[in-house]
Amino acid sequence: MTGRNGPLTGKVVVDLSRALAGPHAAMLLGDLGARVIKVEQPGTGDDTRGWGPPFVGPDDDRISTYFLSCNRNKESVELDLKSDDGRALLTRLVRAADVLVENFRPGVLDRLGFSMERLEELNPRLVVCSISGFGHDGPEGGRAGYDQIAQGEAGLMSLTGPSPDEPTKVGVPIGDLLAGMNGAFGVLSALLEREQTGRGRVVRTSLLSSIVGVHAFQGTRWTVAGEVPKAIGNHHPSIAPYGGYICADGMLQVAVASEGQWAKFAELLGIDPADPRYADNASRVTNRPDLNAEIEAALAGGTRDEWLKRIGGIGIPCGAIRTIDQVYEWDQVRSQGLVIGVDHPVLGPIELPGPAVRFDPREGDDDPGAGHAAPPRLGEHNASVRAWLDSLDDEGAAAG
């Protein structure tokens, strides 16, 4: 049995999802201590087991690094949901579970015999997390959901990239990841509610809702001010100077978010802070091309590290632009538990990106960074999960 100590220790999650949004949600619950049982198609498993390169490991047992990214702290059981045995085993899992995570296209679970009504009948305390591409209802509720498609449809690509003529996707599948986070957030809320009501609830989110839900000020630019936001590269649409600037040997980023900061920054670079073009933030945004040219002319006189030291020294937020390898080698990242070590049954000791949430230890707690389990091999827990179910009574005594 996998599982680690945490706020969800003792809770059982059945993960019926594939690809990323659902598996990410279930992984977050596993990080919090839940026992997560990942149900996979016999012989092939989750689609992401075949997504690569890169693959690692021996030629006859290749491991997808994509799969490794979103399935830590889980057990794997193979189960054919179209077979009598598979449906019977899933029925037993549902009765024993606290949470079920699924991201089938709307209607698929119904056809398999596990409608929301049936799930509630089997286990009234079950919390169901259902993640879809564009929502479970509405005029386009049946559409398949893939991250990049959703990024485009939800307007995110129109805000991202060097110019309005080059809409650009985010460098990670952000719609999937946000949907997973929202799904886990909804599950935790429903579990808390269950403490009062004794009943579960269906929690729904989608890639579409998760992206629209983080439009933030870009959304209100349209809904309130009637402006259609457009991509402007590495600069903030409402604050200046705020963005990426070229210096003698590369690029750095600066965020000047107040008039006091502007005065100090301008004086450091030899720019008149009272110039009418730059006297307040609105003027600086309007005259951003002139301002950026003056800033980069000044920065050309020094290296990135020199300027970061000088700018940071006067209290202005600034930073480098790191490559991924530099991020994982950074002491600050490692100090925050963002790299974890696990022992994989094929690969041996490996490092994975770690969870973003930490809990301060209390007296008697185990090491909060310990106990993570490697992503499972396909069907690794077939026997142990069946043995566990056999140990329960017919009503699923493990359910909390």
Catalytic residue list: 176
Containing H/E element for 339? strand 339-344
Do the Cβ atoms of 347 and 304 come closer than 8 Å?
A: no
Selection from 300, 252, 295 nearest residue 271 by Cα: 295
Q: In the structure encoding, which two tokens stand for residue 84, read together? A: 């009598």
SS3 235: strand
Selection from 71, 132, 70, 121 nearest residue 91 by Cα: 121
Strands (E), 163-321: 202-206, 242-247, 250-255, 318-319
Selection from 31, 24, 32 nearest residue 69 by Cα: 24
SS3 155: coil
- The vertex-377 CA angle with 375 and 382, nearest 5°, equals 115
Q: In the structure encoding, which two tokens stand for residue 62, read together? A: 């290749």
Do the Cβ atoms of 248 and 178 come closer than 8 Å?
A: no
Do the Cβ atoms of 276 and 270 come closer than 8 Å?
A: no
Supply the DSSP string of 7-68, one letter for each residue.
TTTT-EEEE---TTHHHHHHHHHHHTT-EEEEEE-TTT-SGGGG--S-EES-GGG-EEHHHH
Containing H/E element for 383? helix 382-390
